[in-house]
Amino acid sequence: MNAHRPIAATALLALSLAIAAPSPAQSALPAIVDGQALPTLAPMLERATPAVVNIATESRVTRNPLLDDPFFRRFFDFPAQPRERRAQSVGSGVVVDARQGYIITNHHVVSGAETIAVTLRDGRKLKAKVIGSDSESDVAVIQIPADNLTALKLADSDALRVGDFVVAIGNPFGLGQTVTSGIVSALGRTGLGIQGYEDFIQTDASINPGNSGGALVNLRGELVGINTAILAPGGGNVGIGFAIPSNMVSRLMNQIVAHGSVRRGQLGVAVQDLTPDLARAFNIPSNQGAVIAQVNPRSAAARAGLKEGDVVLNINGRPIRDGGSLRNSIGLLEVGEPVRLDILRDGKPQTIDAKLGEYVTLKISGEAINSRLSGATFEDIGPNSPLAARVRGALVASVESGSPAARTGLRKNDVILAVNRQAITNTAELKQLAADGGEVLLNLLRGREELLLVLR
């Protein structure tokens, strides 16, 4: 009986509204008031919405290997679970090349997906394949058959201003295509810890789960950003959403289409923000920029003549606000690209030309460290990693299924923070402290959780 009450109440409300509602002739809004047409976004949306698609993915999720440990199950009463289960998720995407069928979306929308289904505005459902993806910027390119598609034109996101009107188009909560409007609340948001490379547009246009990968467009119907994340303390929209700028998306897409991945160039420096205290210490009038704290030997920066204490003000004519801004600017450039840096050295302006190099990751096999880690590969946390400057340790680059390392519970992307309660910063220290011998205790970071693993 109780289950029917909401339905009955809803029906009563609908009936009362139907009775109270005026006739269509009475309720129709006029198209013109005092000789002026009423403002509407409908014509622009009729052009833009066919380029925004709904994305449904299916993936296979493996349960935590700890649940297979009899010792663990003895003390924790977990219900029986299958080793694997199917997981489904929904998101959004934007057609940016109608001739090739290229769609931009978020890396996290398609990551690990075994099947990707794209639903167009006209109802067509098509299978998509991944061209390439970049976890550090959360950008992915997928492709569908190019048949009578509509694409969005990319706008110059550098021309955006705080206060510009924008419209978000996506698939929130799997409801289907939905449009919300708002303004640009802020530009150049960094340091949020969402991605490795951050230069977000902040907007109050409603963005909710499922909007990821959808379009943020201007009033001309041009793409200014790809909706990516929200701040949602209660789980829903509170008017703080973030989008990746279209200029960043364009450069990343070009690399992904050409190489299947992003080949980021490396300058080879460690930087920090130019604080007022540092500006006074260096006798520098500027209040924004990035201070070079360290120059790596044999790097592009060293070859170009950059020195510790140099303050970078511009890269290729683009102002550098802080250390994150410098990292983002370099991170959008390919290996081998030339770069021009406007700097202050001892308070005097100079221009430095450099050619970006490539970061080569040094890897070490688990077998070379400890026989109980055989089947795993470890590497240092490189400057391109989203963990760089936030986490110190040795990264698990891969783990072979069924190997001794896998049986210990080690997983790809785990970070070894400490060995036998002694903190480590790289793979060399891991090798030194975790050598074959007695019992070894590993402190791990897995996502946002810290775990302990014992090698016996």
Active site residues per annotation: 108, 138, 212
> Which residue, 21, 102, 95, is CA-closest to 54?
95
**CA separation for the pair 259, 148 (Å, rounded):** 27
Token duo for residue 309: 């204490």
Total number of residues shown for the chain: 456
DSSP helix/strand/coil, 259 = helix
Count helices and strands in the chain by DSSP H and E runs: 11, 30
Token duo for residue 293: 């704290």
Per residue, what are the HEC states of 194-252?
CCCCCCEEEECCCCCCCCCCCEEECCCCCEEEEEEEECCCCCCCCCCEEEEEHHHHHHH
* DSSP per position, 104-117: EE-HHHHTTEEEEE
Q: Which residue has the tokens 């700890």?
A: 66
Token duo for residue 168: 């978000």
Question: Counting beta carbons within 10 angstroms of the beta carbon of residue 250, is it exposed (0 to 12), middle (13 to 18) or buried (19 or more)?
Answer: middle
Cα three-residue angle 110-111-112, rounded to 5 degrees:
110
**CA separation for the pair 418, 397 (Å, rounded):** 17
**CA separation for the pair 101, 231 (Å, rounded):** 32
Q: From the CA atom positions of the chain, what is the Rg in Å? A: 26
**CA separation for the pair 384, 388 (Å, rounded):** 7
| Cα dihedral 177/180/183/184 (nearest 10) | -30
45 phi and psi angles, rounded to 5 deg: -70, -30
> What is the H or E stretch that residue 264 is in?
none
Sign of the CA dihedral 132, 135, 136, 138?
A: positive
Spatial contact of 218 and 166, defined as CB atoms under 8 Å apart = yes
**CA separation for the pair 91, 212 (Å, rounded):** 5
Distance of CA 247 to the CA centre of its chain: 15
